[in-house]
Amino acid sequence: MRTLFAKENWLLLMLVFIPVALVLEYLVHASALWVFLASSAAIIPLAALMGRATEQLAERLGEGVGGLLNATFGNAAELIIAIVALRAGLVDLVKASITGSIIGNLLLVFGASALYGGVKFQRQQFNRTAAGLSATLLVLSATALFIPAIFHLIVPPTAGLAERTLSVEISVVLIVTYVLSLYFSLRTHRHLYVGHAGEDRDELTPTASPWKALGLLVASTAGVALMSEMLVGAVEETAAVFGMNEVFVGVILVALIGNAAEHSSAIMMAGKNKMDTAITIAVGSSIQVALFVAPVLVFLSYLIAPEPMDLRFTTLEVVAVGISVWIMSMIAQDGESHWMEGVQLLAVYVILGLAFYWLPTPG
Amino acid sequence: MRTLFAKENWLLLMLVFIPVALVLEYLVHASALWVFLASSAAIIPLAALMGRATEQLAERLGEGVGGLLNATFGNAAELIIAIVALRAGLVDLVKASITGSIIGNLLLVFGASALYGGVKFQRQQFNRTAAGLSATLLVLSATALFIPAIFHLIVPPTAGLAERTLSVEISVVLIVTYVLSLYFSLRTHRHLYVGHAGEDRDELTPTASPWKALGLLVASTAGVALMSEMLVGAVEETAAVFGMNEVFVGVILVALIGNAAEHSSAIMMAGKNKMDTAITIAVGSSIQVALFVAPVLVFLSYLIAPEPMDLRFTTLEVVAVGISVWIMSMIAQDGESHWMEGVQLLAVYVILGLAFYWLPTPG
Amino acid sequence: MRTLFAKENWLLLMLVFIPVALVLEYLVHASALWVFLASSAAIIPLAALMGRATEQLAERLGEGVGGLLNATFGNAAELIIAIVALRAGLVDLVKASITGSIIGNLLLVFGASALYGGVKFQRQQFNRTAAGLSATLLVLSATALFIPAIFHLIVPPTAGLAERTLSVEISVVLIVTYVLSLYFSLRTHRHLYVGHAGEDRDELTPTASPWKALGLLVASTAGVALMSEMLVGAVEETAAVFGMNEVFVGVILVALIGNAAEHSSAIMMAGKNKMDTAITIAVGSSIQVALFVAPVLVFLSYLIAPEPMDLRFTTLEVVAVGISVWIMSMIAQDGESHWMEGVQLLAVYVILGLAFYWLPTPG
C-alpha cells in the first residue's frame, strides 16, 4: 500500500467489474462462480484506490498521524472482507483469510519481489536491523496463533470458556504490542524506517486535495464493502463447484484478492532495487494482519457475529504460519536477497498451497 | 548473580520474613497462603545472599575455580527448592519450576532488561559471538526437553523403562556438554566472555574474608532450605485457594521467587548499558538450569524421591521453551537490543503465562 | 565428495572386504551379521572411489557440466543403496536412511569437522552468504518432510490417494528447486561458492585419463550395487540379532556407511582450516539428499517398488530433521565456528540417536 501505480489505466479499467458484478448478481442472476469472479476482480482496483486515498491523506496529516492512518487502514480491504464474512457466520473462512494473508505476504509477495528484483540485480540489500525487528514481531505473531491451538489440544472439551477467554486476552496483548510497535517505528526509532519512505514519495502522483482524498476513501470503502458482500455470498457455492474446501479458498483465493495491491507495489519496488520498501510492505502487512486485524476481528465478533471468534486456527494453518515465519526470518537476517531466495519462498508457498488444496472437504 | 546490590537496605529488611514465616507456621498455624507468601518473601533475600557469598568466594579462588563455583552454585536456590519438592514427591512442580526458570530468565528477565535499558539508551549492543553460542546451547536445551516428550507420544504405554533410560542418558549428555561449555568459556575461549566480567568487579562491595563468605554461604543455604520446606509444604493448598493449577504455580510463581536476584541484577546492569552482563545473567541462568540443574535433579531423584523423575515435560511446557528459545535466539543474533525487543519478549511471556493460568486443574 | 584422500593405502586395503563379503555370503553362508559387516566395510571404499571418479570426470568436463555431474552423482552410493532397498520393498528403511543422511551430515559430519578443526584453530570462518542460502534450502527441505507428516495426521484414513498425490507434487517442487539452485550456484552466483573449490583442486592427485575415470566410475558403481544387495538382504536379520529396530538401523547405521567418504573428507578439510569446503560437503550433501535423492526415489518407486513410496516420514524423523536444521542454521548464520559448536552438534546427534535406538521394534 505504500506506493501507487504510476500508470493506472489498467486500474481504472478494472473498475468496470463493479457494474459487471452488480448486473450478474441482480439482473442476470448468474451462477455463484461468475459473481465470485466479477466481485473479486472489482475488489482489486477498489482496494488499490483505498490504499491510494489513505496514502494521500496520510501525507497531508504529517508523519505522526499519517503513519498511524497508514498503519490502521493499510489492510482495510482485508478487514472489510473479513467483517462481512464474520457477520455471515463464516468464521473458518475469516481465519483462513488471516492465515492466507500472513503466509501470502511473506512467501508469495516477498518471494515474487525477491525473484523479480533478483533477476534484475545480482544482489539486493536492505536494513538488517529493521528486518530483524520485524522478524521478531513475526515470531510473536506465530506464538499468538500457536498457543490457542496447542491449548485446545491439551484441555478437555469442557474448557470452551477458558479457550475463549484466553483468545480475548491474547488479542489484548497483541493490540497493545502493535500500538507500542507503532510508537517505536513512528516515534522513538523512526530513523530505522524513514530512509526509504522518503524516497518513495517522489514517485507519488501530485497530491490531490485532502477533501478529494477523503471522498475517494469513503467511496472506495463503500465499494469494497458492497463487493465483499457479493464475494462472501458466492464463496461457498463456488468452492463446491470446484470441489475445493473452504479453507483453501480462504487461505489462497480470498487472501490473494485482498492483497493484490500489496503484491504489485512490492514487486514494482523490488524491480527498482528498493528492497527496504518491498520488505516493509510484505512483512509489515503480515504483522498488521496478525497483530491488528486478527484481534480486532476477535473483539468485533462479540458484537456482530452469530457466535464469537477465537484465535484457534487449524493445525495446518498454524504449521503454515510457523514455517513461513521461520524461513522469512532466516532470509531477513543477513540483510540481502538473491533471486534464489525468492524461488525458495515461492516453493514453500506452493508446497503449503498444495497441502491446503488436498485437504478433504468436510461432510 | 554476577553483581550485588549497591544499596542493600531493602535486602536486609526482607530478612525479617524469616521469623515471620516461622511464627506463622509454628506458632500461629496460619493458613497455607500466608506461610507461602512469607516463606517466598524470605527466600528472595536469602537467595541473593547465597549469590553474594558465592561471588565473593569465587573472587578469592581465582578465575578458574571461582568461575566453576559460580557456574555450579549460580542457581543453588532453585536447586534447593527443587530438591525439597522432589523429596516431597511433587515431580510435576519440580518440572514446572525448571520450565519456568528457563522461560522466565529468557523472556521476563531479559525482556525487562532490554525494555528498561532500551528506554534509557536508544540502542544497546552486546557481543554477538558469545550470544550466538549461548543461543545454540539453548537450542540444545530445547532439544533435550523436546525429545522425551515426543518419544512419550509415539511409544506404547508399556515402554516406561525405555523412557526412563532415555531420560537418564540424555541427562548424561547434558552434564557432559555443560562441563565442556564451562571449559570453553572459562579456559579456551575466555576472551569472548571476559571483558564485562572485569568491569563489573569494580562495583562489588569490598571483599570480606573468605571465612566470612563461607559462613554466609552456609547460613544462607540453610535458610533457603528451611524456607523451601515451608514454601513447598504450603504450595498445593495455596494453589487450591486461588483455583490455580500446580503447573502455573511452578512455572510462574516458584520460578519468580527462585530467580528474583537474577531479575534485579540483570535489569540493573541493563540500566548501566552493560547488556553483555545482562544477557549473560539471563541466558546463562537458563542454560545452567537446563544443562546442569535438570539432569542433576534426574540423578538425585533416584536417591531421594519417592519415584524417579524423567525429562518428560508437558506439551505446553515444551512448546513454551521452544518458543522462548526461538525468539531469544532471534534477538541475540544481531548483537543489539532496543526497547521494543523487550516489549516483545514480555508479550510472549504474558501470552505463555495466560495459557498456563487457564490450564484446568486436574481432578 | 569434493576432495580425495591424499594417502589412500587404507582405502585400497578396505577393498579386500569385497571378496570377503562374497565368500561369506556364497561360500560360507555365514550369518547375516557377518555379511552385513563385510558388505558395509566394502561399500565405504567403493563409495569413495565413485566420488573420486566423479570428481576427475567433472574436472575434465569443465565447471558447468562437471559441477552438474558432481551435484548429481555426489550421493550416488546412498542412491544405489536406497534403490536396492526400495526394490526389496523396505520403504521404511529407505526413508530412515534419507533421514539419517540429512541429520548425519548436519550433526555428525559437520559437528566432527567443527570439533576437530576447532581444536586446532581458535576460530574458523566461512562465507556467511553461501552458508545462509544453504540454511534456507535446509528449511525448505524440512518443510517438504514436515507437510506430508502433518497432512497425514489431519486427514481421515480414506485420504490415501490425496496423500500420495501430495507427495508426488511436493517431489516435483523439490526437483525444480534443486535444478534452480544448481543454476544459482554454478551459473549466476558462482562467485559465492567458487573460491574454495579452486583451492582444493591443487590437492587432487594428478588427473587420470577420462576413460580411466569413466571405467573406475562404472566399476565402483557396479561394486556398490552388488554390495548393497548383500547389505540390504542382511539388514533385517542383523537388526533382529541386536534387538534394534529397522528405523535405527536406517537412520544411524546405513546412513553412516553411505556417507563415510563425506565424513573423512569434511573432517580433513576442517583440519586444514578450510571450513567453507567442510560446510559445503556436509550441508550440500544434506540438501542433495532432501531435494534430489528423496524425490527421485519417490518417482522411481512407481517403477521399481512393490508399492509406491511417499514423503511421509515418522514423527521422530520429522522432529529430528527439524531440530538438526534449526541448530545448523543457527551455527551457520554467524559465519564462524568454534570447537564448542562441534560439541553441541554431536550432543544433539547423540540425543537423537538414543531416541531412535529406544524406539520399540514393531510387532
8 Å CB contact of A169 and B354: yes
B330 touches chain C (CB under 8 A): no
8 Å CB contact of B133 and C359: no
User: What is the distance in angstroms between the Cα of B152 and the nearest Cα belonging to chain A?
Assistant: 15
What gap in Å lies between CA A333 and CA C139, rounded to an integer? 14
User: What is the distance in angstroms between the Cα of A237 and the nearest Cα belonging to chain B?
Assistant: 38
Per-residue pLDDT, A206: 52
C137 touches chain B (CB under 8 A): no
Residue listed under C-alpha cell 527466600:
B43
In this complex, which of B135, B139, B180 lies closest to C343 when CB atoms are compared?
B180
Q: Which chains lie within 8 Å of chain C at 3 or more CB pairs, if any? A: A, B
ipTM at complex level: 0.89
Per-residue pLDDT, B3: 41
What gap in Å lies between CA C214 and CA A218, rounded to an integer? 73
What gap in Å lies between CA B94 and CA B85, rounded to an integer? 6
What gap in Å lies between CA A174 and CA A297, rounded to an integer? 12
8 Å CB contact of C180 and A340: yes
A280-284, B54-58, B187-191, C35-39: which is most confident? C35-39
Shortest CA distance from C356: residue in chain B: B151
Average of per-residue pLDDT across C32-54: 88
Q: What is the DSSP letter of B124?
A: E
- Measured between its terminal Cα atoms, the distance across chain C in Å is 39
Per-residue pLDDT, B194: 55
Mutate: best of B136, B310, B327, partner C, most C CBs <10 A? B136
Nearest CA to B164 among B27, B305, B41?
Answer: B305
Residues of A in contact with C147 (CB under 8 A): 319, 351-352, 355
Residues of C in contact with B154 (CB under 8 A): 314-316, 359
- With a pLDDT cut of 70, the percent of chain A lying above it is 92
Q: Specify the higher pLDDT residue, B119 or A133.
A: B119
Per-residue pLDDT, A25: 87
Contact in structure between A104 and A256 (CB atoms under 8 Å): yes
8 Å CB contact of C326 and B139: yes
- DSSP for B302-347 reads HHHSSS---S---HHHHHHHHHHHHHHHHHHTTSEE-HHHHHHHHH
Q: Which chains lie within 8 Å of chain A at 3 or more CB pairs, if any? A: B, C
Q: Specify the higher pLDDT residue, B204 or B164.
A: B164
Q: Specify the higher pLDDT residue, C192 or B207.
A: C192
B125 touches chain A (CB under 8 A): no
Residues of C in contact with A316 (CB under 8 A): 150-151, 154
Number of Cβ atoms within 10 Å of the Cβ of C207: 14
8 Å CB contact of A133 and B338: yes
Burial of B190 (0-12, 13-18, 19+ CB in 10 A): middle
Per-residue pLDDT, A356: 93
8 Å CB contact of C137 and A344: yes
Mean pLDDT of chain A: 85
Mutate: best of B129, B146, B147, B191, partner C, most C CBs <10 A? B147
Per-residue pLDDT, A258: 78
C329 touches chain A (CB under 8 A): yes
Average of per-residue pLDDT across A181-197: 74
Q: Inform me whether the pLDDT recorded for B97 exceeds 50.
A: yes
A316 touches chain C (CB under 8 A): yes
- With a pLDDT cut of 90, the percent of chain C lying above it is 41
Residues of C in contact with B163 (CB under 8 A): 358
Contact in structure between B75 and B289 (CB atoms under 8 Å): yes
- With a pLDDT cut of 70, the percent of chain C lying above it is 92
Q: Inform me whether the pLDDT recorded for C202 exceeds 60.
A: no
| B196-235 per-position pLDDT tens digit | 444 444 444 555 688 888 898 899 999 999 999 999 889 8
Residue listed under C-alpha cell 463503500:
A222
Contact in structure between C87 and C305 (CB atoms under 8 Å): yes
- DSSP for A36-91 reads HHHHHHHHHHHHHHHHHHHHHHHHHHHHHHHHHHHHHHTTHHHHHHHHHHHHTT-H
In this complex, which of B136, B155, B174 lies closest to C327 when CB atoms are compared?
B136
8 Å CB contact of B189 and C344: no
Average of per-residue pLDDT across B11-38: 89
A180 touches chain B (CB under 8 A): yes
8 Å CB contact of B132 and C352: no
8 Å CB contact of A189 and B340: yes
Non-local (6+) Cβ contacts of C213 within 8 A are C53, C56, C57, C60, C207
What gap in Å lies between CA A277 and CA A290, rounded to an integer? 20
Non-local (6+) Cβ contacts of B320 within 8 A are B99, B103, B251, B352, B355, B356
- With a pLDDT cut of 90, the percent of chain A lying above it is 42
User: What is the distance in angstroms between the Cα of C90 and the nearest Cα belonging to chain B?
Assistant: 21
Helical H runs in A123-209?
A: 128-154, 160-183, 191-201
Q: Inform me whether the pLDDT recorded for A320 exceeds 90.
A: yes
B-C contacts at Cβ under 8 angstroms:
93
B140 touches chain C (CB under 8 A): yes
Q: Inform me whether the pLDDT recorded for C316 exceeds 70.
A: yes
What gap in Å lies between CA C85 and CA C90, rounded to an integer? 5
What gap in Å lies between CA B283 and CA B104, rounded to an integer? 10
Residue listed under C-alpha cell 525448505:
C140
Q: Inform me whether the pLDDT recorded for A61 exceeds 80.
A: no
Mutate: best of C134, C139, C180, C319, partner A, most A CBs <10 A? C139
| C208-254 per-position pLDDT tens digit | 688 888 898 899 999 999 999 999 889 888 888 888 888 888 888 88
Q: Inform me whether the pLDDT recorded for C83 exceeds 60.
A: yes
User: What is the distance in angstroms between the Cα of B230 and the nearest Cα belonging to chain C?
Assistant: 37
Q: How confident is the model at residue B350 (pLDDT cuts 50, 70, 90)?
A: very high
What gap in Å lies between CA B316 and CA B146, rounded to an integer? 11
- Three-state SS string across chain C, please? CCCCCCCCHHHHHHCCHHHHHHHHHHHCCCCHHHHHHHHHHHHHHHHHHHHHHHHHHHHHHHHHHHHHHHHHHCCHHHHHHHHHHHHCCCHHHHHHHHHHHHHHHHHHHHHHHHHHHHHHCCCEECCHHHHHHHHHHHHHHHHHHHHHHHHHHHCCHHHHHHHHHHHHHHHHHHHHHHHHHHHHHHHHCCHHHHHHHHHHHCCCCCCCCHHHHHHHHHHHHHHHHHHHHHHHHHHHHHHHHHCCCHHHHHHHHHHHHHCHHHHHHHHHHHHCCCHHHHHHHHHHHHHHHHHHHHHHHHHHHHHHCCCCCCCCCCHHHHHHHHHHHHHHHHHHCCCEECHHHHHHHHHHHHHHHHHHHHCCCCC
Q: Which chains lie within 8 Å of chain B at 3 or more CB pairs, if any? A: A, C
- With a pLDDT cut of 90, the percent of chain B lying above it is 41
Per-residue pLDDT, A63: 66
In this complex, which of A151, A181, A333 lies closest to B333 when CB atoms are compared?
A333
What gap in Å lies between CA B62 and CA B72, rounded to an integer? 15
Q: Specify the higher pLDDT residue, C334 or A181.
A: A181
Question: Strand, helix or coil at A216?
Answer: helix
Residues of A in contact with C189 (CB under 8 A): 122, 338, 340
Question: Strand, helix or coil at A163?
Answer: helix
Average of per-residue pLDDT across C14-22: 90
8 Å CB contact of C170 and A354: yes
| A31-43 per-position pLDDT tens digit | 888 999 999 999 9
A187-196, B62-71, C213-222, C339-348: which is most confident? C339-348
Residues of B in contact with C128 (CB under 8 A): none
| A208-252 per-position pLDDT tens digit | 688 888 898 899 999 999 999 999 889 888 888 888 888 888 888
Average of per-residue pLDDT across B171-195: 84
- Measured between its terminal Cα atoms, the distance across chain B in Å is 39
Angle between helices C191-201 and C275-288 (to 10 degrees): 110
Question: Strand, helix or coil at A124?
Answer: strand
Q: Inform me whether the pLDDT recorded for A300 exceeds 50.
A: yes
B319 touches chain C (CB under 8 A): no
Q: Inform me whether the pLDDT recorded for C103 exceeds 50.
A: yes
Burial of B26 (0-12, 13-18, 19+ CB in 10 A): exposed
8 Å CB contact of C358 and B165: yes
Cell numbers placing A220: 472506495
8 Å CB contact of A350 and C173: yes
What gap in Å lies between CA A138 and CA A290, rounded to an integer? 8
Nearest CA to B144 among C228, C344, C285?
Answer: C344
Q: Inform me whether the pLDDT recorded for A117 exceeds 90.
A: yes
8 Å CB contact of A147 and B347: no
Q: Specify the higher pLDDT residue, B353 or B196.
A: B353
Rounded to two decimals, the pTM is 0.91
Number of Cβ atoms within 10 Å of the Cβ of A180: 17
Per-residue pLDDT, A261: 74
C316 touches chain B (CB under 8 A): yes
8 Å CB contact of C351 and B136: no
- Three-state SS string across A292-354, please? HHHHHHHHHHHHHCCCCCCCCCCHHHHHHHHHHHHHHHHHHCCCEECHHHHHHHHHHHHHHHH
A134 touches chain B (CB under 8 A): no
Average of per-residue pLDDT across A90-98: 92
A166 touches chain B (CB under 8 A): yes
Residues of A in contact with B326 (CB under 8 A): 139
